Amino acid sequence: MSTPLDAPDQGGVATLDRELEQLLNEELQEPGDHERFSHYVKKEKILESALTGKPVRALCGKKWTPGRDPEKFPVCPTCKEIYESMAR
């Protein structure tokens, strides 16, 4: 009788972890206005995303993987409103 450790590529926890991580990464990225706006995100999260490839979450709740120059786009109105309300 074989055990999961004898054949690690045939299932088991490692396979489930990889599949779950892939599914979560796919679900975290949302289609929509991220192509039209620049969003407010903590600087350290942008750096972390650049190193790991993981998506970030903007103040407005938008989730995506940054990869373009934010200065080429207008600021997301929802992010701006939230940021300004936090500064008061």
Q: Please state whether beta strands 63-64 and 56-57 pair in parallel, antiparallel, or not at all (unpaired).
A: antiparallel
Bridge partners of 63? 57
Q: What is the DSSP code (8-state) at residue 40? A: -
Instruction: Provide the whole-model pTM.
Output: 0.59
Q: 3 or 60, which is more confident?
A: 60
pLDDT at 24: 55
Please work out, in degrees rounded to the nearest 5, the angle formed at the alpha carbon of residue 16 by the alpha carbons of 51 and 64. 35
Q: Largest alpha-carbon pair distance within the chain?
A: 66
Task: Report which residue type is found at 52.
Answer: T
pLDDT at 46: 92
Summarize pLDDT for 29-61 with one digit per residue, the tens: 555 555 689 999 999 999 999 999 999 999 999
Q: How far apart are CA 47 and CA 12, in angstroms?
A: 33
Domain range summary for the chain, segments of one domain joined by +: 36-87
